[in-house]
Amino acid sequence: MKKRASRKTNEVSRRDFIKASAAVSMAAVLGGQERLFAAGSDKIRVGLIGSGGQGTRDTISCLKSSRGIELVAMGDLFGDRLNESLEKLKGEEISDKVNVTPERCFIGFDAYKKVIASDVDLVLIVTPPHFHPQHAKAAIEAGKHVFAEKPAAVDPVGIRSLIATSELAEQKGLSIVAGTQRRHNAPHLEVMKRIHRGDIGEIVAAQCYYNIGQMVGYWTYYEKGGLSDMEWQCRNWPWFTWLSGDHIVEQHVHNLDIINWALQSHPVQAMGMGGREVRKLGNIFDHFAVEYEYPNGVRVLSMCRQIEGCSIREGERFVGTKGIAHGNGVIEGQNPYKFEGEFTDPYEQEQIDLIASIRQGKPLNHGRRLAESTMTAIIGRMSAYTGRALKWDWAMNASKLDLSPPAYDFDIDFPASPPAVPGKTQLI
């Protein structure tokens, strides 16, 4: 769509504060029993921030996960995207749980604030990754539980912000569940249990891959036409580093999260390479290869690629002194294993786990581990972009890299940055 979306402002009617306070007090009395929500109702009121394809899918999974959940507010940068999402939701089996009125539909860069203010208990943050730290911070400060899609951020400044938000959520007793759904996937859970109890011995090396096609078609590409620079880039967010973090961060973070999980650590340094062989869209690379060094000298080879016509490989592999484990539920060697059990769709299971944590008053906080897995991807990108090896501690504590634009306004002059050039792009 080439027309610029309207930027309407909607007023929000707030529920009676005294009733809400009474509900919170009753929840404290109930202790381990299911808590009350939304001013005396047992319903968990959900607000969606970011109503694209993934936001719509996550909302369906959330509404399917349990009884007593309703979607009451939605926000997005673009009105057409929000309307498409709302129409889809109304056509799904969970349509009876969609209670979104025109007054609770918000458009623009400040839509997230209005969703958070709409008397919701849980906020689903499924915006372009650049906005995740900002939106999570606002939600936790307002006392809302959070589901935050991966990745945590796109730069070290954003990572530090998300970690601080995670610490605040801990203090407030709020859940932050991450969209790293493999952590809720039965085959991965079973393999990790066996890795951590020593079934493959000591891990001496590992590999992970996300080598697929270009993703054009899966993500709609909008032509520039009469769109402003900012609107065009926001509509095409997967192909711009400041919005997506590049595909090593936006997509390959899944595999790197599994690596950190198995090794129970983050890397200490990274050396990477990458480039653009065939990609013409935006300013991101189409391939990366990174060698990460973890504690005890364990080396991990990471590869990701988005180029059509090439061999596809996706997954994780761990080499131990007693065998080899694969993230998809297979172990070879002295203690062979193959997962053959039943399991729930992990996209649904992560929502089931989140809702259970809220109802039981036992918050889950995945903020730091999401931040560390994302930072693992970010240092790989930073190394590949600059051609420089770098250490985790420097990137986490000293890097000043902040990819934020000068302002969030569709009318500002904001031309896209050129693609990085290894050996010339500066390490910041």
For residue 41, what pLDDT is reported? 53
Can you name the CATH fold of 183-343+370-397? Dihydrodipicolinate Reductase; domain 2 (3.30.360)
pLDDT in tens, 156-171: 999 999 999 999 999 9
For residue 112, what pLDDT is reported? 98
* Tokens (6 digits) for 284: 């991101």
Instruction: Write down the domain spans for the chain.
Output: 17-181, 183-343+370-397
Dist. CA 393–CA 404, nearest whole Å? 22
Angle at 350 (CA atoms; ends 349, 352), nearest 5 degrees: 60
* Tokens (6 digits) for 121: 């208990």
Crossing angle of helices 367-386 and 253-263, rounded to 10°: 120
Tally of CA atoms within 13 A in the half-sphere of 112 that contains its CB: 24
Dist. CA 10–CA 249, nearest whole Å? 34
What average pLDDT does the segment 61-90 reach?
97
- DSSP per-residue string spanning 182-238: GGG-HHHHHHHHHHHTTTT-SEEEEEEEEEE---BTTB-----TT--HHHHHHHTGG
CATH architecture of 17-181: 3-Layer(aba) Sandwich (3.40)
Q: Which of 52, 119, 117 is nearest to 79 (CA)?
A: 52
pLDDT in tens, 108-146: 999 999 999 999 999 999 999 999 999 999 999 999 999
At 327 the three-state DSSP class reads: coil
Domain 17-181 and domain 183-343+370-397, same fold? Reply is no
* Tokens (6 digits) for 363: 């918050």
* Tokens (6 digits) for 65: 């996960």
* Tokens (6 digits) for 61: 């999974």
For residue 33, what pLDDT is reported? 34
For residues 243 and 234, the answer to whether their CB atoms sit within 8 Å is yes
